[in-house]
A = this chain, B = another copy of it.
Amino acid sequence: MAHALSLAQNEIADDDALARDVLGQVAGRWSLGVLCVLAEAKGPIRFSRVLDGVDGITAKVLTQALRQLERDGFATRTIYAQVPPRVEYALTELGLELIEHVDPLTRWATRRAKDFRAARARFVR
């Protein structure tokens, strides 16, 4: 259910809600993987290279993920008017910050993997 019926389209007034929304997007299946490929590139990188770098993603889904990263300010999109077309994506400062803040969490989760495995084994019932 939408919370703010009075707001046009997708505007989110509350900062907390906006932050949750953005993190929710980032938590999606592909965003972080794409972001990491952009980070590893250490500079502008073409659509096809990103496509190669993210295992299992399709062009359609990659396009959507990149658009959303661009929308939230985590990546830039630069189109070069040439044939064949060239489009390059790059991580922004904000995107780098995001990665830096997500990293400790994923590291912790990886360290704790054994505990997760044990908990899941204990469960089942």
Contact = CB atoms under 8 A, between A and B. Distances in A.
Given A19-B116, A72-B116, A72-B120, A104 B101 contact: yes
Contact of A18 (B27, B108, B117): B117
A104 B106 contact: no
Interface in A6-37: 10, 12, 15-16, 18-20, 22-24, 27, 29
Interface string A84-107: 000000000010010001101110
A21 B122 CA distance: 17
A74 to B, nearest CB: 8
A40 interface: no
B113 A18 contact: yes
Contacts of A116: 18-19, 22, 72-73
A116 B15 CA distance: 9
A110 B16 contact: yes
8 contacts: A15-B110, A19-B110, A22-B113, A23-B27, A23-B105, A24-B29, A97-B112, A102-B105
Given A71-B119, A71-B120, A97-B112, 7 more contacts: A18-B117, A19-B110, A20-B109, A23-B106, A24-B29, A94-B119, A101-B105
